[in-house]
């Protein structure tokens, strides 16, 4: 009889556990850890992103300041803690970790001590203090992201890690807290102004006697948002689905090229799209803004006296550029849907003498519908919320809605009202938060609808076949 079999089972189990205890610090370095509980790296990414977003948001929404102070400071501290924890586990307590801690401390102090506005001499105008802290937070977020990457690639903390070191959960809690604070602030400031009048009234600016009289209202912007979403969907859906089908169903260099271009389109900065849209609008049509091309691209409006004026950019132009954002989303969704169809079902259709076109209409597209719908709705939500393109080419749209009219949307209103907030004459200033809240509601309900429809269509068109 060997020695090991004489030891009682319970004791052996105990030995095994303590042997694992002894190995623990090195476990973090092995790639074989349980990836299923890899909440932390994802959250660390999220946290870094949230820290940056808060810093940037606070640049434009300065009224978030006190909250940002708490949230930003706590986030920074928790990130530093996380980094230190990893360092400690690796028994490599070094200058890098200490540097991060110092940097985060500096960020917190700067956030707390700097005056809210700093008057620059070399730069004209004033600089908000979060501009400074944004840079420092970026500097902290970068290495933290690297640590998170390190987790993803190799050492993923297990559920056991999380239960043993509860403070690892802190970043998760804090980032949720950050969202709640932003949401709360939005509701608190936005809801009171969100009256029926504000929603149903039209923004207008009329000449009464010798003075302009402005009337506040968000109707143009709300309807504009929906028009923009509808037009974008109309353009993006056939092209996106077509691209997805082409990339999946064809081999060869052309399909590869199209697939590559679609992914690249996703990677293009929105800013570049916006500048392209702006240039297009600027340089088409003659200077008076006459001609069909100018009407289509720049848009036009008729003033109260019936004179035609060229606008800054039409709904059509805005929708075309926004659809460039949405097409890759839909194409990718279609591709995923088509690829998830079991190949034997495809063979079954071929064996019955069905043409590819028939299979596409009767099997492939119905099967991919849940994916396509989700892609479309999420893409539309993105189009509704995307402000960068509209920033350059849209206006307040007070002279009607239509493909050729001046583009406008809630996203633009948030920018526009924020810009006007400092001038006391602008009646739209107070609606900045209301518009943001409304936009959030629209995009949020689209997201919920997308999830619901995906579930619904999956039951209907996939008849309970699970897809991998």
Partner 1 sequence: MAGVIEIKGMRVAYGATEVIKGIDLTIAPGTVLAVVGPSGCGKTTLLRCLNRMTAPSAKISGDILLDGDDTLRMDPVLLRRRVGMVFQKPNPFPMSIRENVLYGVKAQGGHRKSTYADIVEASLAKAALWQEVKGRLGDSAMTLSLGQQQRLCIARSLAVAPEVILMDEPAASLDPTSTAELEDSIIAMKGAYTVVVVTHDIDEARRVSDHTAYLSGGSLVEFGETEQVFTDARSPETRAYLRGRALSASVA
CB 467 → partner 1: shortest distance, Å?
10
If one asks whether residue 246 binds partner 1 (CB under 8 A), the answer comes out as no
If one asks whether residue 252 binds partner 1 (CB under 8 A), the answer comes out as no
Distance, CA of 169 to CA of 373 (rounded, Å): 35
- With CB under 8 A as the contact rule, the residue among 4, 344, 422, 425 that binds partner 1 is 344
Nearer to partner 1, 154 or 348 (CB): 348
Give, as ranges, the residues between 323 and 342 that touch partner 1 (CB under 8 A).
342
Based on C-alpha coordinates, what's the Rg of the chain?
Answer: 28
CB 251 → partner 1: shortest distance, Å?
9
If one asks whether residue 465 binds partner 1 (CB under 8 A), the answer comes out as yes
Site pattern 41..60 for partner 1 (x: CB under 8 A): --------------------
Site pattern 367..406 for partner 1 (x: CB under 8 A): x---------------------------------------
- With CB under 8 A as the contact rule, the residue among 92, 293, 345, 441 that binds partner 1 is 345
If one asks whether residue 255 binds partner 1 (CB under 8 A), the answer comes out as no
CB 450 → partner 1: shortest distance, Å?
21
Which of these ranges, 89-97, 288-296, 402-410, 455-463, lies near partner 1 under the rule CB under 8 A? 455-463
Nearer to partner 1, 34 or 356 (CB): 356
If one asks whether residue 358 binds partner 1 (CB under 8 A), the answer comes out as yes
- With CB under 8 A as the contact rule, the residue among 347, 402, 444, 456 that binds partner 1 is 347
If you search the block for the tokens 């991919």, which residue do you land on?
368
The C-alpha angle with vertex 152 and arms to 138 and 105, in degrees rounded to 5, equals 30
- With CB under 8 A as the contact rule, the residue among 113, 353, 423, 424 that binds partner 1 is 353
- With CB under 8 A as the contact rule, the residue among 18, 288, 290, 350 that binds partner 1 is 350
- With CB under 8 A as the contact rule, the residue among 362, 402, 448, 451 that binds partner 1 is 362
If one asks whether residue 464 binds partner 1 (CB under 8 A), the answer comes out as yes
Nearer to partner 1, 359 or 376 (CB): 359
CB 348 → partner 1: shortest distance, Å?
4
Nearer to partner 1, 195 or 350 (CB): 350
- With CB under 8 A as the contact rule, the residue among 208, 252, 351, 423 that binds partner 1 is 351
If one asks whether residue 30 binds partner 1 (CB under 8 A), the answer comes out as no
Distance, CA of 36 to CA of 155 (rounded, Å): 12
**Which of 436, 463, 452 lies closest to 186, judged by CA?**
436
| Size of site (CB under 8 A) for partner 1 | 23
By CB under 8 A, name the binding residues for partner 1. Answer: 342, 344-345, 347-355, 358-359, 362-363, 366-367, 461-465
């Amino acid at each position: 009889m060997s020695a090991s079999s004489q030891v009682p089972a319970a004791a052996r189990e105990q030995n095994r556990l303590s042997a694992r205890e002894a190995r623990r610090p090195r476990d973090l370095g092995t790639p074989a850890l349980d990836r299923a509980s890899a909440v932390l790296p994802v959250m660390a990414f999220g946290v870094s992103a949230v820290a940056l977003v808060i810093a940037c948001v606070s640049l434009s929404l300065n009224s978030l300041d006190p909250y940002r102070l708490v949230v930003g400071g706590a986030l920074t501290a928790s990130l530093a803690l996380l980094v230190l924890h990893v360092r400690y586990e690796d028994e490599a307590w070094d200058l890098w970790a200490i540097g991060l801690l110092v940097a985060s401390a500096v960020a917190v102090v700067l956030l707390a001590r700097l005056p809210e506005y700093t008057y620059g001499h070399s730069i004209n105008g004033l600089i908000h203090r979060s501009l400074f802290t944004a840079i420092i937070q970026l500097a902290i977020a970068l290495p933290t992201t690297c640590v998170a990457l390190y987790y993803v690639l190799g050492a993923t903390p297990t559920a056991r890690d999380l239960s043993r070191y509860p403070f690892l959960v802190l970043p998760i809690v804090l980032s949720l807290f950050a969202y709640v604070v932003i949401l709360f602030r939005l509701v608190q400031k936005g809801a009171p102004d969100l009256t029926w009048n504000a929603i149903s009234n039209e923004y207008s600016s009329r000449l009464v006697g010798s003075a302009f009289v402005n009337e506040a209202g968000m109707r143009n912007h709300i309807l504009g948002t929906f028009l923009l979403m509808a037009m974008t969907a109309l353009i993006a859906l056939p092209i996106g689905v077509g691209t997805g089908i082409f990339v999946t169903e064809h081999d060869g260099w052309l399909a590869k090229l199209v697939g590559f271009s679609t992914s690249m389109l996703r990677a293009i900065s929105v800013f570049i799209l916006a500048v392209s849209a702006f240039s297009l609008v600027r340089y088409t049509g003659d200077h008076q803004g006459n001609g069909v091309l100018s009407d289509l691209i720049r848009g036009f409006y008729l003033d109260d006296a019936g004179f035609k004026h060229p606008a800054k950019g039409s709904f059509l132009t805005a929708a075309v550029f926004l659809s460039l954002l949405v097409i890759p989303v839909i194409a990718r969704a279609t591709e995923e849907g088509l690829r998830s169809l079991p190949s034997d079902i495809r063979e079954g259709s071929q064996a019955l003498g069905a043409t590819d076109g028939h299979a596409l209409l009767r099997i492939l597209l119905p099967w991919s519908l849940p994916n396509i719908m989700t892609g479309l709705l999420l893409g539309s939500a993105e189009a509704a919320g995307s402000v960068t393109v509209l920033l350059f080419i849209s206006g307040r749209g007070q002279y009607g809605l239509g493909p050729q009219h001046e583009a406008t949307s809630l996203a633009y209103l948030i920018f526009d009202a924020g810009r006007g907030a400092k001038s006391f004459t602008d009646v739209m200033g107070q609606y900045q938060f209301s518009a943001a809240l409304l936009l959030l509601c629209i995009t949020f309900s689209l997201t919920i609808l997308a999830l619901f429809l995906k579930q619904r269509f999956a039951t209907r068109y996939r008849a309970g076949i699970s897809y991998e």
